[in-house]
Amino acid sequence: MNEQQFASDNYAGVCPEAWEAMQKANQGSAVAYGDDEWTALASDGFRRLFNIDCEVFFVFNGTAANSLALASLCQSYHSVICSAAAHIETDECGAPEFFSNGSKLLVAPAVDGKLTPEAIRTLALSRTDIHFPKPRVVTITQPTETGLVYSIDEIKAISAVCKEFNLKLHMDGARFAHACEFLACEPADISWKAGVDVLCFGGTKNGMAVGEAVLFFDKALAEDFDYRCKQAGQLASKMRFLAAPWVGMLESGAWLKNAQHANRAARFLAEQLSTIAEVKLMFPVQANGVFLQAETSVLDNLRAKGWRFYTFIGGGARFMFAWDADLARVQQLADDIKAAVSEQAV
Amino acid sequence: MNEQQFASDNYAGVCPEAWEAMQKANQGSAVAYGDDEWTALASDGFRRLFNIDCEVFFVFNGTAANSLALASLCQSYHSVICSAAAHIETDECGAPEFFSNGSKLLVAPAVDGKLTPEAIRTLALSRTDIHFPKPRVVTITQPTETGLVYSIDEIKAISAVCKEFNLKLHMDGARFAHACEFLACEPADISWKAGVDVLCFGGTKNGMAVGEAVLFFDKALAEDFDYRCKQAGQLASKMRFLAAPWVGMLESGAWLKNAQHANRAARFLAEQLSTIAEVKLMFPVQANGVFLQAETSVLDNLRAKGWRFYTFIGGGARFMFAWDADLARVQQLADDIKAAVSEQAV
Amino acid sequence: MNEQQFASDNYAGVCPEAWEAMQKANQGSAVAYGDDEWTALASDGFRRLFNIDCEVFFVFNGTAANSLALASLCQSYHSVICSAAAHIETDECGAPEFFSNGSKLLVAPAVDGKLTPEAIRTLALSRTDIHFPKPRVVTITQPTETGLVYSIDEIKAISAVCKEFNLKLHMDGARFAHACEFLACEPADISWKAGVDVLCFGGTKNGMAVGEAVLFFDKALAEDFDYRCKQAGQLASKMRFLAAPWVGMLESGAWLKNAQHANRAARFLAEQLSTIAEVKLMFPVQANGVFLQAETSVLDNLRAKGWRFYTFIGGGARFMFAWDADLARVQQLADDIKAAVSEQAV
Amino acid sequence: MNEQQFASDNYAGVCPEAWEAMQKANQGSAVAYGDDEWTALASDGFRRLFNIDCEVFFVFNGTAANSLALASLCQSYHSVICSAAAHIETDECGAPEFFSNGSKLLVAPAVDGKLTPEAIRTLALSRTDIHFPKPRVVTITQPTETGLVYSIDEIKAISAVCKEFNLKLHMDGARFAHACEFLACEPADISWKAGVDVLCFGGTKNGMAVGEAVLFFDKALAEDFDYRCKQAGQLASKMRFLAAPWVGMLESGAWLKNAQHANRAARFLAEQLSTIAEVKLMFPVQANGVFLQAETSVLDNLRAKGWRFYTFIGGGARFMFAWDADLARVQQLADDIKAAVSEQAV
C-alpha cells in the first residue's frame, strides 16, 4: 500500500457506507438494467433529498453524465456557454462535442473559474446569425474547478440571465456535496430552487467506486433519456451496483459527512500554510481543493519529497482531499511545504 | 432476498474472487485513470492468458466495448457485417451507429445465429459502389446469442474470407469464457491464432459487477484508443475498481470456473428436459443458455409459477445461467416446466 | 455529344425554364445565404402551389434533403421506419445514420417497394424496450423507387397509423411531381392534406442542375432547421442559383410539364413492349420508370447494342425518363429490346 | 436589378467563362455522379495547374469542403489547430465538429488573423494527456479572413512545425486564386511544394454559382473520400454542372483573371482612401478585401447612404470585391466614405 497522496480526489477508494451497501446488494439475483429494488431506492432517496419528484438516472462517470445531459438539452448546431476553466472544456477530451455530434462550447474567460451573468450575456449576444452555433445551455460547475462555491444568489442571478435568453441551466456537480456542505444549505437551494434544470451529482469523487447521478428537475427534459443512456453505453446491466452505493451514501448521510471531511482537510492545509508568506492561496478555500502559488523550485522540491500533484494554470499546485484524507498526512504535507520553502530560502 | 431467476446472466451478483480483489484494491490511495498497479496487473494477466503482447483496455460495459472497438475499425461510411441475431443489431439501441457516427450494420440472415463465410461473401459482394457503405469489419459473437459456439475451424474459415475482402475481424466475447470452456481450448486458439483482430472479453456476465476488456491483438489498430475511450465516457477515474476484479478472476482461474459452472447448469436443465416431447431445444446447448420451444400456454403457466424469462424469436423461451446458478433451483425450474407441460396436457 | 441514355433521370441536363431563370438571376449583386429576392419568390411559389403557409428550405441534393429532414424529426436513439426499397436504405451510403448521429432504419420487407400500414404497425410494435431504437418517423417515397405511386387513400391510411403510434410522416419526393401528374391531383392532396409532415420535393431529377426543396407543413418542426442546414454544409452562399430555377419551374408550370413528359415516355416504352411475351413489366408503369424482367442474355445483348441501364433486384432492368426524353430514342430502345429478344429466340 | 454592393464576394453572380462552360455542358445526356467527361476534364485541369497527380473531388460549398477534408484527417478525439479568425471557427456553425463527430478546434489568438509556427507549437505542446483532444491537423486560410496572404516561406515554416509534431497541413483556399495572384506564384508553390497536404480550392467566391474543389496532394489521404462525400450529402448527381465551370475557369485562365480583378478593386479602394486620416486600414490590402477602421457614426452614415457591409471585430467595416466589381461603383463607395467622413467632421 502506497502512502496517501492528494493529487486528486479520485485517488481515494470506496467509503465504508458505499461499500457496505454494495455488499448488501450483492445477495442473490436482481433484475438487470435498473428494474431492481436498489435502483428504485436510490432514485427515491434523491427525490427525498431534493424534496422534488425529479427524474433520476445513474451513469458510469462524470464525462458521460455531463455530456449526455448537455446533449439532451441541445442539438448539434447549438452551443453551450461555459467558463474557460470548466471541466467539459479542459478535461473531457471533446466528450460534449462527441455526445452532441458537434455542439460548440462557447468559452467565457474566467479569472477565478466562475461564470458570471455578464459573461453569459456577452456570449449570448455575441452572435445571432446562423453562421454560428445558437446558444441553448449554460453550464456551471458547483463548486468550480478552482474550488470556489457559487452562492445561492449567484446561481439565481445566472438562472435569471438564462431565462432572459431562453437558455437551459445545467450544473456539473462532480463535487456537489462539497458545495452543500460549505453553504450549509439544502441541496434544493442551489439546484432546482435556484433555477437549475439538470444536475449531475457526483458520486465517484465523494467515496464511490464508480457512478454519477443525473437529475432532471423538469421531467419533460428527461424524455427518452433512458434510450440516450443505453445507446451511449451508459446503461449498467447490473445496475444495482451503481445504485446501491447511493442508497448507502444517502441513507447514512455519508454523502455530506464525506464532503465535510474533505472540505475540512482542505481548510486544515490552508490554515497550516497561512503564516508562510512564500506560499499563497490562488483562490479562497471553500471546498475540498487547495490551490497554491509557489516558486517552481519550491514545487520541484516538494515533488522530490515524494508528493504528487497537478500544476494549475499559471504555475500553481493543486491538492484535492477526499473522504479518506488522513489529517496527519495533511499535516505532513504542510510540514513538507514549509520545509521546501525554507530550503528554498537558504 | 428474491428467489434465483434465470432470465439473464446479468441477474447474478459479483463472484467471490472478483469481490475479494476489489476489496483488496480498496486500500489507500491509487493513481487515477489507469496508471495504478491493478490496471497493470490485469493487463499483464490478459497478455499471459492469451500468450501475446496485446493492447488491453478496460471499459464499463459490453455496449461500449463493442461499439468503441467497431468504431476504431471503421469510418462512418463503412459498414459492419454481422448476423441478424447479433447483440449489436438487436439489443444495443443503435450504439454501434452512434459511436461510429453512422456505420451501417449489414445483417446476414441466420437461422441459428451464426455468421457463415458464405453469408459474409454475399454481403461483401452485394454492393461495391459508393452509394452504399463499404464493408470494413466482420463481427461474430462467441458464443452466439443463441448459445452456439464457433469451432476453431469455423472462425478460421471466417477469418479467411475477411482477409480475402480486406475486412477486420471483431469478436463480441460477452461470454467468451463460456466458449473456451465448451471447446476446452486456449483463449488464443479462438482469438488471435484464428484470425481475430479485436476481442471484447466480457466480465459482467461472468461474475463481475461491471466491466469488459477490449483486446487488440494487432497493436497498430489500438492507436489512440485510449483517447477514444476517454472521449466516449468510458475511462474510469478509479480504474482500479474495473481492473482489480479481472486480476482476481484471472489469477484464481475463476474466469473459467465460473463459465464451467454456468455451462454445466445449462446442460443440466437440458438433460432434465430431454425426455419431455412437448418441449424442444431450439439450439444445441453448448454454452450457458437454454432456448426452449414450447406452447404459449406452457410458457404462460411457467410465468404464473413465478419464473421470469425472455421470449425469443419465434416464440421460444430463454434461460441463462451464471456462476451462481443453484442447481437445486435449476432442478426446480425443470420440475416446473414438466408440471406446466403436464397441466397443459390435461 | 453522346446519344441519349435512360439509365437515370439524372442523366438529363437543365430544362429551358430552369435555365432561363438562372440566367435572369445571374444579373448583378444579390444578397447571399438566402436573403435575396429569388429565394423569397421561390418560397412563396411553393406556398402558393401547396396552398399553405409552410416553411421552405433549399438544399443541394436529395441525400441531404432527406437526411436533414429525418434528423430534424428524431434523435440518435430513435428509428425511422421505411421500405426495404427506400433510397435512404439502399442508396445513400448511410447518410441518414450520419446526419442523425446514429438513428437506425427499421426496414419493412416490401415486394413492390411500397410501405403499408400493416408493415408500419408491425415494426412499431416489434420492440418497445430501451435496448432497441424507438420509432419516431415513417418515411415513404412518392413515387416509390419501383415507380409506383401511393394513392391519396394509401397515404391517409399510413398517416393514420403514424398518428396512432405518435410517428411523424416524411415523404421523399425526389420525383414528387411525377406522382402529382399520375394522380392528377393537387400537391396538397398527397402531402399535408393527407398527413405528411415534411416533404422533400425533388428538383434535380425533374430538370434542375442541382437542388431540392424541404417543406415543413408543421412550422414548429422547422425550428432552427436553418442552423441545421448551415452546419451540415447545405447552405448555399449564392442561394439565388438554387432558388431561381424553382421560380422558373413553378411559374411556368414546367415542374408538372416535365414530369408529364417523363411519365409519358415511360408509358410509351411500356406500350411498345406490351406485345412481347419475353419481356415483362416488374411493376405497373405509373411514373417515369420502366422496370423490365428479361433473360440475362437479352439484357447483355441490349448492353452490347450500346444501352446503359441499372439492373434491379431480381435481375430486372431499369429505364428512367426525364423531361428531355426523345421519343424517337425511346422508340429505338423499344426496337432494340425487341431485336434482342428475337435474336435470343433464334 | 439592384446596385452593386461589396458586402461579400458571394454577392457576385457567375462569370462568363463559368457560365459558358455550364451552358456547353448542358447538352444531351451525361453519366451521373462524376463518371462524365466534364468531371474528368476538370480533374485533369487541376492536375495540370498544380503540376502533380493529385486526387480531386468536387463538393457543393466551402463549409463542406473544409469540414470533410478535416474529418478525413482526424478522428473525433483529435483536434485541429487554427487561428481565432479562421472561418471554420467563426462562421461555419460548428460544421467541422459535426462532420468529424466532435473534433475540437484549438484556437490560437491572432492579431492579424494569421497562424504562426510559434502559436502552433504552443498549442501542440499545451496538452499531451488523454483528457484533451490530440492535435492532428493544422489549418490555415490562404488568404486569411483578414485579407492577408501567407508568403511561401511562411507556409514552409508552418509546414516544418507540422512535420515536427506529426500534424497534417490543411489549407482553406476559399480565395486561393487571390493569393496566387498577389504572390505571382504558381499554385504548387503555396500548396504541395510548401508542404500542404490537402487544399480546398474555392470556386464560389471566384465566379462560380456553386462548388469547391478538394485536392489531396498525398493520394493516400484521399482513401474512400468519395464515400465520405456521398454519405455527407456532397455528391452531386448531375456532377457535370459542378465540374464544367471549373473547366471553363481553368482553361480560360479566368480563375486567375477574376482574382486579379477583385484584388485590383480592393487596392483601388484602399488607394482612394489613403489620403483620409479619419479612415484607417486595419490590415494591409493584399487580396480582395478592404478592412476599414472608422468612427461608428461614419459607418452609420455610410449605411444611410445605401451601402451594405459587415462590421468586423473591433468595429471595422469589411468590403469584399469579386470578379464583377465595377470600378466606377468602387469609386462611388470611396466618394461616399469621404463624404461620410467630412459630414462627420462638421
- Say whether both C124 and C272 belong to one domain: no
The predicted model gives D122-140 an average pLDDT of: 96
Amino acid at C300: D
Task: Report the CATH number at residue B135.
Answer: 3.40.640.10
Q: Does D78 fall in a domain? A: yes
Q: Answer yes or no: are the C-beta atoms of D298 and D344 closer than 8 Å.
A: yes
Q: How far apart are the CA of A115 and the nearest CA of chain C, in angstroms?
A: 26
Chains contacting C (3+ CB pairs below 8 angstroms): A, B, D
Residue-level pLDDT at A111: 84
Question: Which one of A33, A77, A137, A234 would you mutate to disrupt binding with C, by most C Cβ within 10 Å of its Cβ?
Answer: A77
Identify the DSSP state of A4.
Answer: P
Residue-level pLDDT at C315: 67
As a whole number, the mean pLDDT across chain D is 96
- Say whether both A48 and A163 belong to one domain: yes
Q: Is the ipTM value over 0.95, yes or no?
A: yes
Asked if A75 lies within 8 A of C102 by C-beta distance, the reply is no
- Say whether both D250 and D277 belong to one domain: no
- Residue A26 grid cell: 450483492
Q: State the DSSP string of D63-109.
A: HHHHHHHHHHH--TTEEEEEETT-HHHHSSTTHHHHHTTSPEEEEEP
Asked if A31 lies within 8 A of B7 by C-beta distance, the reply is yes
Chains contacting A (3+ CB pairs below 8 angstroms): B, C, D
Question: Which one of B238, B309, B310, B321 would you mutate to disrupt binding with A, by most A Cβ within 10 Å of its Cβ?
Answer: B238
- Say whether both C235 and C259 belong to one domain: no
C8-31 pLDDT, tens digit per residue, is: 999 999 999 999 999 999 999 999
The predicted model gives A108-120 an average pLDDT of: 95
Q: How far apart are the CA of D77 and the nearest CA of chain B, in angstroms?
A: 6
Q: Does D292 fall in a domain? A: yes
Q: Is A320 on the interface with B (CB under 8 A)?
A: no
Asked if A130 lies within 8 A of C102 by C-beta distance, the reply is no
Asked if C13 lies within 8 A of D3 by C-beta distance, the reply is no
How far is Cα of residue A150 from the mean position of the Cα atoms in its chain?
13
Q: Does D227 fall in a domain? A: yes
CA angle C284, C285, C287 (to 5 degrees): 135
Closest Cα partner for D288 from D324, D310, D262, D325? D262
In Å, how far are A242, A299, B110, C150 from B82, measured between CA atoms?
31, 55, 10, 34
Question: Binning pLDDT at 50, 70 and 90, where does residue D71 land?
Answer: very high
Question: Binning pLDDT at 50, 70 and 90, where does residue A313 land?
Answer: low
Within the 193-212 window of chain C, which residues sit less than 8 Å (CB to CB) from chain D?
A: 204-205, 209-210
C67-112 pLDDT, tens digit per residue, is: 999 999 999 999 999 999 999 999 999 999 999 999 999 999 988 9
| Rounded CA separation C142/C82 (Å) | 12
Asked if B227 lies within 8 A of D102 by C-beta distance, the reply is no
Closest Cα partner for A18 from A229, A242, A225? A242
Nearest CA in chain B to C98: B102
Chains contacting B (3+ CB pairs below 8 angstroms): A, C, D
| Rounded CA separation D285/D154 (Å) | 18
Question: Binning pLDDT at 50, 70 and 90, where does residue C344 land?
Answer: confident
In Å, how far are C123, C144, C183, C218, C221 from C157, measured between CA atoms?
16, 16, 17, 19, 22
Q: Does A4 fall in a domain? A: no
| Rounded CA separation C76/C70 (Å) | 11
Q: State the DSSP string of D96-108.
A: HHHHTTSPEEEEE
Asked if B93 lies within 8 A of A231 by C-beta distance, the reply is yes
What lies within 8 Å, CB to CB, of C300 at 6+ separation is: none
Asked if A226 lies within 8 A of C130 by C-beta distance, the reply is yes
Residue-level pLDDT at A17: 98
In chain A, how many domains are there?
2
Minimum-distance CB partner of C13 among D26, D227, D234: D26
Q: Is A133 on the interface with C (CB under 8 A)?
A: yes
Sheet with strand B104-108: strands edge to edge: B55-59, B212-216, B198-202, B168-173, B134-141, B78-83, B104-108
Residue-level pLDDT at B344: 79
Give the three-class secondary structure for B235. Answer: coil
Question: Binning pLDDT at 50, 70 and 90, where does residue C267 land?
Answer: very high
Q: State the DSSP string of B262-321.
A: HHHHHHHHHHHHTT-TTSEESS---SSEEEEE--HHHHHHHHHTT---EEETTTEEEEE-
Question: Binning pLDDT at 50, 70 and 90, where does residue B111 land?
Answer: confident
Burial class (CB in 10 A: 0-12, 13-18, 19+), A65: buried
Greatest Cα-to-Cα distance within chain B, rounded to the nearest angstrom: 66
As a whole number, the mean pLDDT across chain A is 96
- Residue B12 grid cell: 447474478
CB count in 10 Å sphere of residue B257: 18
Q: Answer yes or no: are the C-beta atoms of A176 and A246 closer than 8 Å.
A: no
pLDDT of C313 above 90? no
In Å, how far are A87, A125, D216 from A134, measured between CA atoms?
21, 10, 33
pLDDT of C268 above 80? yes
pLDDT of B34 above 90? yes
- Residue B90 grid cell: 438487436
- Say whether both B236 and B282 belong to one domain: no
Among A312-326, D93-107, D286-300, which is the least confidently predicted range?
A312-326
- Say whether both C278 and C338 belong to one domain: yes
The predicted model gives B256-284 an average pLDDT of: 96
CB count in 10 Å sphere of residue C257: 18
Last residue of a domain, one of D254, D280, D301: D254
Identify the DSSP state of B190.
Answer: G
A244-296 pLDDT, tens digit per residue, is: 999 999 999 999 999 999 999 999 999 999 999 999 999 999 999 999 999 99
Give the three-class secondary structure for D313. Answer: coil
pLDDT of B164 above 80? yes
| Rounded CA separation A66/A213 (Å) | 10
Residue-level pLDDT at A314: 63
| Rounded CA separation C263/C266 (Å) | 5
Sheet with strand A289-293: strands edge to edge: A280-281, A289-293, A316-320, A310-312
Task: Report the CATH number at residue D277.
Answer: 3.90.1150.10
D228-244 pLDDT, tens digit per residue, is: 999 999 999 999 999 99
Question: Binning pLDDT at 50, 70 and 90, where does residue B313 land?
Answer: low
A13-63 pLDDT, tens digit per residue, is: 999 999 999 999 999 999 999 999 999 999 999 999 999 999 999 999 999
Counting other chains too, the contacts that C265-270 makes at CB distance below 8 Å and 24 or more residues apart are C265/C321, C265/C325, C265/C327, C265/C330, C266/C147, C266/C290, C266/C319, C266/C320, C266/C321, C268/C327, C268/C330, C268/C331, C269/C319, C269/C321, C269/C330, C269/C333, C269/C334
- Say whether both B103 and B226 belong to one domain: yes
Residue-level pLDDT at D315: 67
Cis peptide before A187 (omega within 30 of 0): no
pLDDT of B94 above 90? yes
Containing domain of residue C287, as a range? 255-345
Nearest CA in chain A to C237: A131
Q: Does D232 fall in a domain? A: yes
Give the three-class secondary structure for D316. Answer: strand
- Say whether both A232 and A291 belong to one domain: no
pLDDT of A117 above 70? yes
D191-227 pLDDT, tens digit per residue, is: 999 999 999 999 999 999 999 999 999 999 999 999 9
Residue-level pLDDT at B346: 67
B40-72 pLDDT, tens digit per residue, is: 999 999 999 999 999 999 999 999 999 999 999
Question: Binning pLDDT at 50, 70 and 90, where does residue B315 land?
Answer: low
D302-312 pLDDT, tens digit per residue, is: 999 999 999 87
pLDDT of D278 above 70? yes
- Say whether both A279 and A211 belong to one domain: no
- Say whether both B122 and B106 belong to one domain: yes
Residue-level pLDDT at D344: 80
Question: Which one of D29, D58, D229, D307 would you mutate to disrupt binding with C, by most C Cβ within 10 Å of its Cβ?
Answer: D29
Only one residue has cell 428527461, namely: A222
pLDDT of D86 above 90? yes
Residue-level pLDDT at D186: 98
- Residue A257 grid cell: 459527512
- Say whether both B248 and B260 belong to one domain: no
Q: Answer yes or no: are the C-beta atoms of A329 and A317 closer than 8 Å.
A: no
Closest Cα partner for A19 from A258, A207, A177, A206? A207
Q: Does B188 fall in a domain? A: yes
As a whole number, the mean pLDDT across chain B is 96
Only one residue has cell 445461467, namely: B321
Minimum-distance CB partner of C29 among D5, D33, D240: D5
Question: Binning pLDDT at 50, 70 and 90, where does residue D346 land?
Answer: low
Q: Are strands D168-173 and D134-141 parallel, antiparallel or unpaired?
A: parallel
Question: Which one of A80, A104, A312 would you mutate to disrupt binding with D, by most D Cβ within 10 Å of its Cβ?
Answer: A104
Angle between helical axes of D327-345 and D296-304 (0-180°, round to 10) = 130
- Say whether both C63 and C210 belong to one domain: yes
Q: Does C297 fall in a domain? A: yes
Q: How many residues does the structure list for chain A?
A: 346
Asked if B30 lies within 8 A of A13 by C-beta distance, the reply is yes
Q: Does B118 fall in a domain? A: yes
Q: Is A75 on the interface with C (CB under 8 A)?
A: yes
Last residue of a domain, one of B224, B254, B284: B254
What region, left, alpha or beta, does residue A132 occupy, with left being phi > 0 and alpha being psi -120 to 50 degrees? beta
Last residue of a domain, one of D220, D254, D288: D254
